[in-house]
Amino acid sequence: MKIGLVSYEFNNGKIEYNIEKIEKAIISSNGSADLLCFGETFLQGFDSLSWNYEIDKNIAITKESVTMEKLKKLSEKHKIDLAIGYIEREKENIYSSYVVIEKGKIIHNYRRITKNWKEYSITDEHYCEGEISETFIYKNREFKIALCGDMWICPKKFKINGILLWPVYCNFTKDEWKNTEQSEYAKQSKLASDNVLLLNSITKEEPISVGGAYYFKNGKIENSLELDKEDILIVEI
């Protein structure tokens, strides 16, 4: 199985632009991956919400939305599976979620457990978190998903003998990643799995993110991408 970890730039609030980036990555991968994974809230952008529910309910999308159908059709058209972070709405609730699409169909949808995806000091009951990270099967392998701070607050919830996908959105500088953070994240990954795939998106908007992607094997960096450069890390597991 080959998994592509996509470290591309998104624009906050520009869903169509971000979908174009998803299709660009699909074309650039040129059949080299079975599954392409994008970062936390890549679809709308991490800072796309206003924390005013009347505005944000129209930024978030449902699993049955026209936008989600576009993503499913991209998967079908290009014969590639996709995993994408997005802001989800279900009824009156909004979540930071991560969807896995296989052959044009949703096979898994995870909702972030920890609350630091939102400005929780000013948000109301509409902005919610999930409670569990369920195991799902892809290509006969067991997977779990953790989003960003989930692995720092409750790593035991993500323990798995299979593969952990760990999409994040972090604003460390290049020096911080290289000198401190990448080794700390690698060490933390060992608490959940021997095979952890971490990916971060790029943004030029404040707060700036230099992106990056890592394959952590047994708590060590097995492979990684150059920071601050759009690229796809292909991991064969």
Interval 187-204: pLDDT, tens: 999 999 999 999 999 999
Q: How far apart are CA 34 and CA 196, in angstroms?
A: 17
In this prediction the pTM is: 0.97
6 pLDDT above the threshold of 90: yes
What pLDDT score does 205 carry? 86
pLDDT range class, residue 206, cuts 50, 70, 90: confident
H helices of the chain, in order, are 15-29, 53-56, 66-78, 150-153, 174-176, 182-189
What pLDDT score does 207 carry? 87
Cα 223 to Cα 103, 195, 200, 220, distances in angstroms: 28, 12, 14, 9
Cα-to-chain-centroid distance, residue 61:
16
Q: How far apart are CA 223 and CA 182, in angstroms?
A: 11
The DSSP string of 21-72 is HHHHHHHHHTT--SEEE--TTTTT-TT---S-HHHHTTTSB-TTSHHHHHHH
Interval 164-188: pLDDT, tens: 999 999 999 999 999 999 999 999 9
Report which residue type is found at 155: P
68 pLDDT above the threshold of 90: yes
Query: Which residue has tokens 């998106």?
Result: 201
- Per the CB < 8 A criterion, the answer to whether 56 and 23 are in contact is no
